[in-house]
Structure 1
Amino acid sequence: MTTQSPKKGATGGGTAQARPGLLARSLDGIERVGNKIPDPFVLFLILFAIIAVLSTVMSLSGATVEVPGSEDGVQPVRSFFSAEGITWLTTSLVTNFVSFPPLGVVLTVLLGVGVAERTGLLTALVRRAFGGAPRWLLPYVASFVAVSGSIMSDAAMVVIPPLAAMVFKAAGRHPVAGLLGAYAAATAAFSCSPFVTSTDALLSGVTNAAAEPLGLGTYVSPISNYFITLAIALILSFAAGFMIDRVLEPSLVRRGIARDKVRAEAGTEESEAKVMDPNLTDTERRGLRRAGAALLLTAAAVLALCLPPGAPMRNEDGAFLPESPLLSSVVFIVFMVLLLPGVTYGVVTGSIRKGADLALVMGQTVKEMSPFIVLAFVMAQFLALFNWTNMSSWIAIQGAEGLEATGFTGFGAILCFILLAFMVNLFIISGSAMWALLASVFVPMFALLGYEPGFIQAAFRIGDSTSNVLSPLSPYLVIMLGFLRAYEPRAGIGTVIARCLPFTVVFTVLWIGVLAVFYFGGIPVGPGMNVRI
């Protein structure tokens, strides 16, 4: 895509007037600080070294830890730089990695997502939703598709916004409203979805690894936040649609940004041609119907294993909560729900012609996940060391006692944690890296205060999602700027952030409000996952 660099101080709306205000200075400052933060791989190596040194110093000083309610009694803080510590690392390096909870779960779910995405099933569903929507409903359809798009992982931020812009333009609505509205919804609500996604699998694995040292709280599964994520996904979909329709699009019209502006930039016609057509072919429609039938058969098979009395998916008491084979099979069910319809669609449309094609599709998905696998290796070693040295328990207990001493242990403490996640997310754009960092301290700390690890994970999702659109370090912000300049050549990063900022504010307020309803109402945030232990 060929674009024109904006003039110094240029803002959105095609105006060239310089306006170096507080926003520009703040963004520059955030970018400078963020650029000094090491890559997540290097960051966790540094953290490993810090914990290794601190554990040795504290061990020599005789530091001990006693977990309230634990039968282990008083435990010493173990030294890494000791015969015991070196032996621990050399004998457990591989075990630390292969037993890292998110690793197998995330890879399994993503194998299913990869089949559904690479065969074209997920993209066809998105195009079908846009192509069949009436003009007045387009903002709400775009918002729902964008919020639900996290099932496609990061691809949602690249696929859905330009498609929404194209559909808006074809319907006589403002294409930039579709572009930025869908981007804001997909990015600021990334961690909530009406579907179980790879993010649920990743977060739950890290949460369990962080909660393990204390042995407190309920096991966190990929559906432990489903009740609250479903509720907020529906609420934010409507809110984003309303803001596109009543706030973003009218503001663009008031600024005089033409809806059907003729592109004067070289290469814009080529870039627009790369945006997919929302209309489906007959083969694609037939593939969707067959995939839908495969999904219904899969659902029927699951129900047959759950509903009859004495069904194998029930627990010994004939129920599903607090634990049952059904809850333990969530990853398998999600995998099959994605795999079988994806394969069916691929066979019908011709993207899968033989068994080797399926293996190739899965292999390409794993190849794309190689950066995560490498990061998971060093994250696993850091968390394992943090737990083995008893540093995680010591920090959690000290923090919990400090909060209790100040009396700041209620919902106000949860809000402070959300704010911290919000701010950290501006600089550490990897959600898995940030949660591994925060969870190792705050999950045990809040567990000692009586909060379920799954509830703290639900609170983390707010800060991890709503500030995504504000981070100048996000690679998707640069990609979105490229799309936007096809309509507004003078747009800059500040243009994208300024227009998406209202979505962040509204999403944060609404999401915290929903969390407060679950908190004060004592409503489980997911199957078997209460607010308090």
Structure 2
Amino acid sequence: MTQTTPPEQSSPPKKTGWLGKSLAYIEAIGNKLPDPLTLFFIFCLAVIAISAIASAFNISVVNPGNGETIAAVSLLTPDGIRRIVTEAVTNFTEFPPLGTVIVAMLGVGVAEATGLLAALLRQLVIVAPAGLISPTVVFAGVMSNIASDAGYVVLVPLGAIVFLAFKRHPLAGMAAAFAGVSGGFSANLLLSPLDPLLAGLSQSAAQLINPNYEVNATANYYFLAVSTFLVTLVGWFITDKIVEPRLGSYQGEAAALEELSARERKGLRWAGYALLAFIVFVLALLLPPRGILRNPETFTIVPSPFIDGIVFLIAIAFLIPAIAYGKAAGTIRNDKDVAQSMGSAMSTLGYYIALAFVAAQFIAYFNWSNLGVITAVSGANFLRATGITGPPILLLFILLTVVLDLFVGSASAKWAVMAPVFVPMLMLIGYSPELTQAIYRIGDSTTNIITPLMPYFPVVVAFGQKYDKNMGIGTLISLMLPYSLIFLICWTVLFFVWLFLGLPLGPGAPMRI
């Protein structure tokens, strides 16, 4: 694919209407903040200081799950300082997005360097209806959740490339993909690794009231399957009617759209053969009842080594067809060319790796200090203390989840704290654990795309700087805020319609008990 040099900026975004002016204001304020790397460094210092203050005032909460007291931990003590110094490298190497990004880029980088991605996208431009690109990108993002975090490092940059190939603004494509991957994180037509994880926490909480209550991994399947189409349609509208018009015209170089050469067509054929062979190989390890890639104890697919290793499998799914394409099209000659392509892919991650180091320290400090858990439990206690019941309490619960998601990005970590409070509380007024879990997932998903504390947020900023070197946190928040707010409104409306109709949330999962 033709490489692009990021312009200073796109043409000035449109500021017409109250929404355009508001988003422009948010972008301007956000972009006055320091560079993301500097900002996360400031966050680190702030958490250290706040942890010391909170500890000095003996701030604590009681964990509703086990009754243990959770106290704020100062990082300015000798033990805290020693931990900051000795675990800095471990924080970095165990930062979840780091390995995902690097491994995925090993395969994607070769696919780009050999020309495979460029050829595929040019062919897409030739055969695909231009009007359906936006919903296609959003839908692909939603469906990528079955691959856990892989969508962030594969589909988000790919969305930008696809839009650029159609002579549309690449940041709009990136936003559409990010909205699907992260804003629609819980929606899917298939079960994801998150489903059994949350169901297990919901079941434990429900058994505080009914020791025999069971919550299945499919507890929210019907609702979330329908939500997939809601997120896709709403994301399509936001991308084409709100986000892209604000961005104006893109001044960078667009991808070449000439017809594929005979060698490129030959390369695509061989890439297709290689991909098919790899898929058959993986299915041979997955589909048999006792397949190697199934869970070795339960022989399930979700969870399983297949799900746990999906990022590596995706990298190989890019790498093998890329090599086949390169050999057939003549863009690679030997193994040295492949190794060079991998090295080039890694060289593009320099800024991200530096950013990941600082972001990893901040997230570790936030966890060590217990500030995230204290915030979550305090919010839950406040909502419970209001004494409100019925549908209004459900709406307040969604809004509380939205607020907490700005501070605690992990869906499972928040639910581990919130489920023991809200699942029993709502059971006592007639709402099922499956319902409580479903509305939690609405609030948790829709806020991911506007909080800089979400681990992949700096990753997306780094991707965007390829097309606009002036892009900052404010730019990304202003791009994603319409998705976040409208997703939240529409998804909440869908839920209350579902509640009014009394439809099951999943197989054997009623709304009320």
Contact kept, 8 Å, 2:163 with 2:173, in 1: the verdict is no
Residue 401 of structure 1: how far off its partner (Å) = 1.0
Q: Which amino acid aligns with 2:180?
A: C
- Could you tell me which residue of structure 1 aligns to residue 49 of structure 2? 53
Structure 1 position 341 matched with structure 2 position 321: yes
- Counterpart residue number, 1:259: none
Q: Secondary structure at the match of 1:410?
A: helix
Q: Indicate whether 1:190 and 2:178 are aligned.
A: yes
Q: Structure 1 residue 318: deviation in Å?
A: 4.2
Matched, 1:163 2:165: yes
CA distance in 1, matches of 2:81, 2:10: 54
Q: Which moved more, 1:81-90 or 1:25-34?
A: 25-34
Q: Is the Cα contact below 8 Å between 1:295 and 1:340 reproduced in 2?
A: yes
Q: Which runs of no fewer than 5 residues in structure 2 stay unpaired?
A: 142-150, 195-203, 206-219, 246-250, 424-435, 453-460, 469-477
Matched, 1:140 2:132: yes
Q: Does 2:377 correspond to 1:397?
A: yes
Match of 1:29 in 2: 25
Question: What residue is the counterpart of 1:81 in the other structure?
Answer: 76
TM-score between the two structures when normalised by the length of structure 1: 0.62
Residue pairs, 1:207-222, within 5 angstroms: none
Question: What is the CA-CA distance between 1:362 and the residue it aligns to?
Answer: 1.7
Bigger mean CA deviation after superposition, 456-465 or 277-286: 456-465
CA shift in 2, pair 1:502/1:54, >3 Å: closer
Counterparts in 2 of 1:241 and 1:378: CA distance versus 1, 3 Å: closer
Q: Structure 1 pair 475/111, CA: closer, same or farther in 2 (3 Å)?
A: closer
Asked if residue 320 in structure 1 is aligned to residue 300 in structure 2, the reply is yes
- 2:480 is the alignment partner of 1:522: no
- Who is 1:381 aligned against? 361
Greater shift, 316-325 or 357-366, is seen at 316-325
* CA distance 1:479–1:342, shift in 2 (3 Å): closer
**Deviation of the 1:37 alpha carbon:** 2.3
Distance in 1 between residues matched to 2:9 and 2:113, nearest whole Å: 33
1-structure distance, mates of 2:164, 2:418:
41
Partner of 1:492: none
Could you tell me which of 103, 115, 137 is aligned with 1:120? Answer: 115
Alpha-carbon distance between aligned partners in 2 of 1:283 and 1:226, rounded to the nearest angstrom: 45
| 1:60 Cα offset (Å) | 2.5
Equivalent-residue separation in structure 2 for 1:355 and 1:458 (angstroms): 47
Task: For 1:433-512, list aligned pairs within 5 A.
Answer: 446-447=418-419, 449=421, 459-464=443-448
1:297 equivalent in structure 2? 277
Residue 287 of structure 2 corresponds to residue 307 of structure 1: yes
Pairwise CA distance, 1:514: 6.7
Deviations 1:283-331 (A, max 9, x none): 2222122111111111111111122232222224443155322222222
Q: Distance in 1 between matches of 2:447 and 2:491?
A: 10
Deviates more, 1:275-284 or 1:60-69: 60-69
Q: Is the 8 A contact 2:156 2:177 kept in 1?
A: no
Q: Secondary structure at the match of 2:131?
A: helix
Q: Distance in 1 between matches of 2:451 and 2:52?
A: 37
Change in Cα spacing, 1:292 to 1:456, as seen in structure 2 (3 Å) is: farther
Give CA-to-partner distance per residue, 1:333-370, whole Å, 9 cap, x none: 22222221122222222222221222222222222222
Q: Which of 106, 111, 118 matches 1:111?
A: 106
CA RMSD of aligned residues (A): 5.2
* Structure 1 residue 99 displacement after superposition: 1.6
Please tell me the residue identity of whatever aligns with 1:414. Answer: I
How far apart, in 2, do the equivalents of 1:387 and 1:502 lie?
30
Matching residue of 1:209: none
Q: Tell me which residue corresponds to 2:208.
A: none
Q: 2:286 is paired with a residue of what secondary structure?
A: coil
Equivalent residues in 2 for 1:193-204, closer than 5 Å = none
Tell me, yes or no, if the aligned pair for 1:314 and 1:326 is still in contact at 8 Å.
yes
Question: Does structure 1 residue 100 correspond to structure 2 residue 80?
Answer: no
Distance 2:52 2:13 in 1: 53
Quote the residue 2:394 is aligned against: 410
Q: Deviations over 1:223-252 (max 9, x none)?
A: xx999998766666667779999x89xxx9
Q: Is the CA contact (8 Å cut-off) linking 2:62 and 2:70 kept in structure 1?
A: yes
Task: Please say if 1:68 is aligned against 2:64.
Answer: yes
> Is residue 369 from structure 1 mapped to residue 349 from structure 2 by the alignment?
yes
Corresponding residue of 1:494:
none
- Answer with 441-450 or 342-351: which moved more: 441-450
CA distance in 2, matches of 1:4, 1:301: 45
Give 5+ residue unaligned stretches, structure 1: 13-18, 166-178, 207-215, 218-224, 253-267, 422-433, 481-496, 525-530
The 3 A distance-change label for structure 1 pair 322 and 455 is farther
> How much has 1:510 moved relative to structure 2?
5.5
Distance 1:349 1:193, change over 3 A: farther
Structure 2 distance, partners of 1:117, 1:455, is 40
- The offset of 1:81, in angstroms, is 1.4
C-alpha distance 518-339 of structure 1, shift in aligned 2 (>3 A): farther
Deviations 1:47-101, CA, capped at 9 Å, x for gaps: 2222212222232333344323338x33543221111111211221211211222
Provide the residue aligned with 2:34 in structure 1.
Answer: 38
Q: Quick one: which amino acid aligns to residue 316 of structure 2?
A: M
Quick check: 87-96 or 435-444, which moved more? 435-444
In 2 relative to 1, CA 11–284 (structure 1 residues): closer, same or farther, beyond 3 Å?
closer
- Structure 1 residues 505 and 70, CA, compared in 2 at 3 Å: closer, same or farther? closer
* Cα 1:475/1:284, change in 2 over 3 Å: closer
Identity, in percent, stands at: 31
Aligned to 1:255: none
Aligned to 1:431: none
